Amino acid sequence: MNSPRSRKLLLSVAAVFSLTALARAEVNKVEPIAPDVYFHEGDIQGHGHCNNGWVVFEDYVLVIDANFPSGAQEIIPKIRALTDKPIRFAFDTHHHGDHAYGNQFWVDNGAVPVAHTGVIEEMRKYETGYYDGKPGRWEDAAKGRADVAASKLKPPTLLFPDEMIFDDGKHRVELHYFGVAHTHGDGFAWLPKEKILFTGDACVNGPYNYLGDGDTGQWLKTLEAAKKLGAKIICPGHGPMGTGELLDDQHAFFAELRKEVGKYARKKPDQMKAAVDAIKASLQKNERIARCLGNGLAGQVEKVYVEMGGKPFLNKQAAAEEHRRHAQAHGREFK
């Protein structure tokens, strides 16, 4: 155990352990990142919560992501402990329940939900219960979550097509839309003075990428646009915050995944399916992206394969299992 190779192995195990310990220690803890700017890593494992951020302006507070109702309940007292300024705006980075289902809770506390126009378009597509009475995602989530069952969907009412700016001379937050990524309505919150970027699920730090509502080819372009901002601190949608390199890691994951799947794009679905383990082994060798790999890889491979013109290869049972895993990753608990 004294060869350079085993020492390297021990070192990397120690590094992974300390990173994991750090990540767990920071869940549910308020992290001041700059004067009046805070980050809060949500408890995704236990409650499906997303990460939150908030900025205390001169006259009001802007919250980044509404979270689930129980996630909103978790952080409101933490904001209140720091300031008594009114919470005026809650910015949904996208339409998913773990980022937008807490909207009603914020409205009840005096805030207006804000989002890119694509969030409303996504809600019209998936939230059929709200728009035309046919049960949709909210109703599905309410079956397994008491906090959702006790609240109601509140689509954002203040919408921006490309950009919206909050600036009181001291603080500036720019909400940007850079294109399709994790969904068709991903908004970013950019603090140019502090060089802090809140990405929603367009960038995550860990095995939390859900591809079902997005497009990986466009996702790469959107990440490239976000990278041009030159962020020093990235506050991802899930997982611990990191440096600007987090965007590069996320980009590398999709670039490598697409490269691997591309080798099978013209092969039969069975051949694609049989290659999942080999793809996993290959991606795991890449230190930059190994932590992005989770149990959902088969579903992610299938999504990319379909984007490239292939046919789905997961059988219905496996697909249901994938859905269950994704849903859990996004906090919809199933009985």
Interface with Zn ion (CB under 5 A): 50, 96, 98, 201, 237
Least spacing, CB of residue 38 vs Zn ion, in Å: 19
Contact 93, 199 (CB under 8 A): yes
Measured from the CB of residue 176, what is the shortest distance to Zn ion in angstroms? 17
Distance CA 275, CA 282 (A): 11
Decide whether 96 or 116 has the Cβ nearer to Zn ion.
96
- Which residue's CB is nearer to Zn ion, number 98 or number 249? 98
Sign of torsion, CA 287 256 295 67?
positive
Nearest approach, Cβ of 181 to Zn ion (angstroms)? 10
> Least CB distance from residue 238 to Zn ion, whole Å?
6
Q: Which is nearer to Zn ion, 151 or 273 (CB)?
A: 151
Shortest CB 239 distance to Zn ion, Å? 10
Rounded distance between C-alpha atoms, residue 74 and residue 47, angstroms: 11
User: Computed from CA positions of residues 54, 60, 66, 72, in that sequence, does the dihedral angle turn out positive or negative?
Assistant: positive
Interatomic CA distance for residues 161 and 159, integer angstroms: 7
Cβ closest to Zn ion, residue 119 vs residue 275 = 119
Token pair recorded at residue 186:
């991903």
Rounded Cα–Cα distance for residues 234 and 227 (Å) = 10
CA distance 8 to 274: 32
**Looking at beta carbons only, is 178 or 313 nearer to Zn ion?**
178
The one-letter amino acid code at 284 reads Q
